[in-house]
Structure 1
Amino acid sequence: MSDSTQPYRVLARKYRPRNFRELIGQDAMVQTLGNAIKRGRLAHAFLMTGVRGVGKTSTARLIAKALNCIGPDGQGGPTIDPCGLCDPCVAIAEGRHIDVIEMDAASHTGVDDVREIIEAVRYAAVSARYKVYIIDEVHMLSKNAFNALLKTLEEPPEHVKFLFATTEVNKVPVTVLSRCQRFDLRRISAEKLTAHFTHVTDAEGVRAEPAALSLIAQAAEGSARDGLSILDQAIAHADLDQGEPLVTAAQVRDMLGLSDRGTVRRVLGLLLAGDAPALLATVREQHDLGVEPLALMRGLLEIVHAITVTKAGRGGDDPAQSAEEREALADWAAGLSFAALHRLWQLLLKGHDEVANAVLPLEACEMALLRAVHAATLPDPAELARLLRDGGSVMPPSASATAPVAAPADPSASPSTRQTMSAPPSFADLVTLLAKSGAALLANSLHDEAGLIRYAPPELVIATRRPIDLKDLTTRLNAATGMAWAVSLGEGPGEPTLWDQEKAAEDSARQAILSTPIVSAAMAAFPQAELLPQGDNEEWSASA
């Protein structure tokens, strides 16, 4: 712990990187700078851009140290690994070096401020190797100020280097960008932030649960400064255990107004099940516990995205997910179609925007979730067209074309409980439903290659001329019908394929027409005539 006689420094300032090794997640930029210094190919102006808290200003100061370091013996030159011990390194780190001038463009926006720089660059550095100008938030300069700086920026004296930092590079004129060597600093990954926060808590003598640090890293959204500020708050919020703060995941959730993942899964399960009363009760319960409605909507969006990428084959790469959560995501991914997931995403995304701008956030959240529940009970366009064509009801009593999978209210229970729907009356209807659910290629394979042996929903036994992926077929049938199908290959050839049956019916109809007296006489009188199908229903007509 730090000396109590010293004034407290917040973690975001205390743990600023002091050298390039401590700069997190910017390896490509460090390598480029290192090679440029070794080869003597230093640009006269650098522009660092990126979101807040990724190290733009810190990088500018490190570059200033790298250019002016003289080593502990005073004989060193520019280096990517400044010593931190020589007078220039110490003075720059403390912000008091006379040749390293920092300017905040947010408060110095005019031409007069830039004119002072233009006049000062003519004079050599007092004690450093290079005179360095660090201009933070450079996009705040006025148009006239940028124009005044252009000539000096393009051809500065050899002893001057310009270092710019900005969060909104799109506001910087192209004429300025073309005169700078640009570095786009990346967002820092949650894994690297978690490791960094672990190092900080160890150095501070604070105990913290790994799950708590992971939550803070996710809340930081790629910003080390934001994450350290949240960690600072979490340490102050933590209870003292044996004289030392203990940061727990539950305390971080309470502090940030987050809902735990298990609760989000439970809310999604209730939404998919169409249980509106239980859904509203859970939302109110979370609100009473301090969970913001916007955070709940965001959590639902995150889990729907996780289900979708799991279905797309990229699941299981999040180290923050528990085994239970991975199992739930895999089960939902197997039971929900891409169309249903995209539809649910759009409903929740619209609801998130409404909650963010609502005068009554809780009420807006409830209305958005109810809209998703009731929209889920409506058939999708393909199913609606089929129902209208067959004369059936367009409002299924309880089934959901959007949400055939209903997770139980208890997040510890298996989310494989499914709502059942009536199976298609025949194998041909099943193939048609499969094609309309987005599995056209698989449906075509069944139509052309599969002979039916047994059709007793939810059991299907077929014989195929060519291999068919039975696992994929089972998954598609489960998603399309809401039933747990058992699909297998049987012995024997089975019935003729649907394609063979259609061809046989077509040939039979053709022969029946040719055998009629009138057509027979016509074909005899006109030997070159042909019998051709006509119209969408393939009615036959004679054509010479």
Structure 2
Amino acid sequence: MSNRMENFVVSARKYRPLQFEDVVGQASITDTLEHAIGNNQLAQALLFCGPRGVGKTTCARILARKINEENNQIDEENQDFAFNIFELDAASNNSVDDIRSLIDQVRFAPQVGKYKVYIIDEVHMLSQAAFNAFLKTLEEPPAHAIFILATTEKHKIIPTILSRCQIYDFKRISINDIKLHLENIARQEDVEYEEDALHLIAQKADGALRDALSIFDRMVTFTSGKLTLEKVAENLNVLDYEYYFKITDAALKNEIPNLMLQFNDILNKGFDAHLFISGLGGHFRDLLVAKIPQTIDLLEVGENTKIKYLDQAQRCDSQFLIDAIEICNTADIHYKTSKNARLTVEIALMQLGSLTAENSIDKKKSLG
């Protein structure tokens, strides 16, 4: 057991891409970089911007290896050293002295390979003096030097640095791309999974593949290698879709007492009432999207859950869904300023339960 613990490598490191074609969700950038290398048109100063966990440092390392690939005579253990890759974390090396010592190194040509590649991560953390010391070298670098700067906060970088770099904007990775990547890893790791469970992990990651892989590792440990939607939702503290389906069914049948009891049950399980009401609004939006054939692609859920949405959407009137979205949105807006937040949500549920009542002329009048 201890041996397994020693050898455990988190998925984000174990499955870090080593080739551009393996990078997930950044095809336009990886294609551009490959063409630039192939046509010998690579700028000497590149700036990779974008949210965390989307592949900036990974692409920087692949690029650094690619441009010195013709000298690939060294075993993989010493690969980074052999390819003259120097990484600097600007978050902890942000003083003018750190940049001056980097500039001193840059003057010397590489002993092996054609280029020395300097990857400066979190470059927005450099001090103003460090930025200024870096300007001249960045504008006129030696022929053997290539700088790759990476940042999550492009707006913090001074314009004089931006104008000297070729800028690549990395985008958030789509839920579907993350889910497909997780499926591939799950198969390699012999992990049993429900597709909807991986979909939920991908949603929770919010476009960051590294976050998705971190959650995936945690869920595999928690579920002992059997990822089910129920278990993943429980561990991520996400309300299972089933709650929203039940609430909607109760609202369609005007079962106000049932709505109140279900809401109480949700609160007793430790879920936040504000997240519940905003999530319920999202559920009604998804039902509306599922109701119209042209917009079904906007429904970002797993296949099994999609079938449930399509089924329930057929039982809901479009006007009911529009009114329900409005009620949830109003409760969401008023929640923080309310003296009695629970009552705000309960009133919204009563209004939802009255929408299809025969005597409901206006959704805000009689609660039926």
Conserved 8 A contact 2:278-2:329: no
Q: Deviations over 1:464-507 (max 9, x none)?
A: xxxxxxxxxxxxxxx9xxxxxxxxxxxxxxxxxxxxxxxxxxxx
What is the alpha-carbon distance in structure 2 between the residues aligned to residue 345 and residue 314 of structure 1? 24
TM-score by length of 1: 0.59
* Pair 1:146-2:126 in alignment: no
What is the alpha-carbon distance in structure 1 between the residues aligned to residue 287 and residue 348 of structure 2? 17
Q: Which range moved further: 6-15 or 152-161? A: 6-15
1:14: Cα distance to partner?
Answer: 0.9
Conserved 8 A contact 1:258-1:292: no
Q: What does 1:262-411 correspond to in 2, within 5 Å?
A: 262-268=242-248, 277-293=257-273, 295-310=275-290, 314-317=294-297, 318=299, 320=302, 321-332=305-316, 334-336=318-320, 338=322, 340=323, 343-344=326-327, 346-350=329-333, 354=336, 364=341, 366-373=342-349, 376=351, 404=355
What is the alpha-carbon distance in structure 2 between the residues aligned to residue 125 and residue 199 of structure 1? 39
* Pair 1:210-2:186 in alignment: no
What is the alpha-carbon distance in structure 2 between the residues aligned to residue 259 and residue 135 of structure 1? 40
Query: Which amino acid is the alignment partner of residue 318 of structure 2?
Result: A
1:335: Cα distance to partner?
Answer: 2.8
Q: Deviations over 1:326-349 (max 9, x none)?
A: 2323543523375x3563353244
Conserved 8 A contact 1:46-1:182: yes
Conserved 8 A contact 2:172-2:207: yes
Cα–Cα, structure 1 residues 269 and 147, in superposed 2: closer, same or farther, change >3 Å?
farther
What is the alpha-carbon distance in structure 2 between the residues aligned to residue 137 and residue 155 of structure 1? 22
What is the alpha-carbon distance in structure 2 between the residues aligned to residue 153 and residue 57 of structure 1? 19
Q: Deviations over 1:198-221 (max 9, x none)?
A: 111111122112221111111111
Query: Which amino acid is the alignment partner of residue 190 of structure 1?
Result: I
Name the structure 1 match of 2:48: 48
More helix by share: 2
Conserved 8 A contact 2:281-2:329: no
Cα–Cα, structure 1 residues 40 and 249, in superposed 2: closer, same or farther, change >3 Å?
same
Conserved 8 A contact 1:209-1:249: yes
Query: Which amino acid is the alignment partner of residue 316 of structure 2?
Result: W
Cα–Cα, structure 1 residues 294 and 167, in superposed 2: closer, same or farther, change >3 Å?
farther
What is the alpha-carbon distance in structure 2 between the residues aligned to residue 333 and residue 142 of structure 1? 58
Name the structure 1 match of 2:229: 249
Cα–Cα, structure 1 residues 348 and 103, in superposed 2: closer, same or farther, change >3 Å?
farther
* Pair 1:419-2:337 in alignment: no
Conserved 8 A contact 1:88-1:97: no
Q: What does 1:34-113 correspond to in 2, within 5 Å?
A: 34-70=34-70, 74=71, 86-87=73-74, 91-92=78-79, 95-97=80-82, 99-113=84-98
Name the structure 1 match of 2:15: 15
Question: Structure 2 stretches of 5 or more lacking a match?
Answer: 364-368
Query: Which amino acid is the alignment partner of residue 78 of structure 2?
Result: A
Query: Which amino acid is the alignment partner of residue 326 of structure 2?
Result: R
Higher RCO (CA-CA < 8 Å; seq separation 6+): 2
1:298: Cα distance to partner?
Answer: 4.3
Aligned residues with identical type, % of pairs:
33
Q: What does 1:167-206 correspond to in 2, within 5 Å?
A: 167-206=152-191
What is the alpha-carbon distance in structure 1 between the residues aligned to residue 76 and residue 67 of structure 2? 10
What is the alpha-carbon distance in structure 2 between the residues aligned to residue 67 and residue 23 of structure 1? 17
Query: Which amino acid is the alignment partner of residue 12 of structure 2?
Result: A
Question: Structure 1 stretches of 5 or more lacking a match?
Answer: 75-84, 240-244, 378-397, 405-417, 424-436, 438-478, 480-544
Corresponding residue SS for 1:336: helix
Cα–Cα, structure 1 residues 349 and 313, in superposed 2: closer, same or farther, change >3 Å?
farther
1:62: Cα distance to partner?
Answer: 0.7
Q: Deviations over 1:349-376 (max 9, x none)?
A: 4267x39xx9x9xx74x234135346x4
TM-score by length of 2: 0.85
Conserved 8 A contact 2:44-2:141: yes
Query: Which amino acid is the alignment partner of residue 327 of structure 2?
Result: L
Query: Which amino acid is the alignment partner of residue 180 of structure 2?
Result: A
Q: Deviations over 1:382-411 (max 9, x none)?
A: xxxxxxxxxxxxxxxx96xxxx3xxxxxxx
Corresponding residue SS for 2:281: helix
Query: Which amino acid is the alignment partner of residue 333 of structure 2?
Result: K
What is the alpha-carbon distance in structure 2 between the residues aligned to residue 181 and residue 28 of structure 1? 15
Cα–Cα, structure 1 residues 234 and 422, in superposed 2: closer, same or farther, change >3 Å?
closer
1:45: Cα distance to partner?
Answer: 1.1
1:102: Cα distance to partner?
Answer: 0.7
Corresponding residue SS for 2:266: helix
1:148: Cα distance to partner?
Answer: 1.8
Cα–Cα, structure 1 residues 142 and 253, in superposed 2: closer, same or farther, change >3 Å?
same
Conserved 8 A contact 1:297-1:351: no
Q: How many residue pairs end up in the alignment?
A: 357
Query: Which amino acid is the alignment partner of residue 87 of structure 1?
Result: I
Conserved 8 A contact 1:46-1:181: yes
Query: Which amino acid is the alignment partner of residue 32 of structure 2?
Result: T
User: Cα RMSD (Å) of the superposition?
Assistant: 3.1
Conserved 8 A contact 1:209-1:247: yes
Cα–Cα, structure 1 residues 371 and 162, in superposed 2: closer, same or farther, change >3 Å?
farther
1:99: Cα distance to partner?
Answer: 2.4
What is the alpha-carbon distance in structure 1 between the residues aligned to residue 95 and residue 19 of structure 2? 33
Which of 135, 157, 168 is the matching residue for 2:120? 135
Cα–Cα, structure 1 residues 169 and 304, in superposed 2: closer, same or farther, change >3 Å?
farther
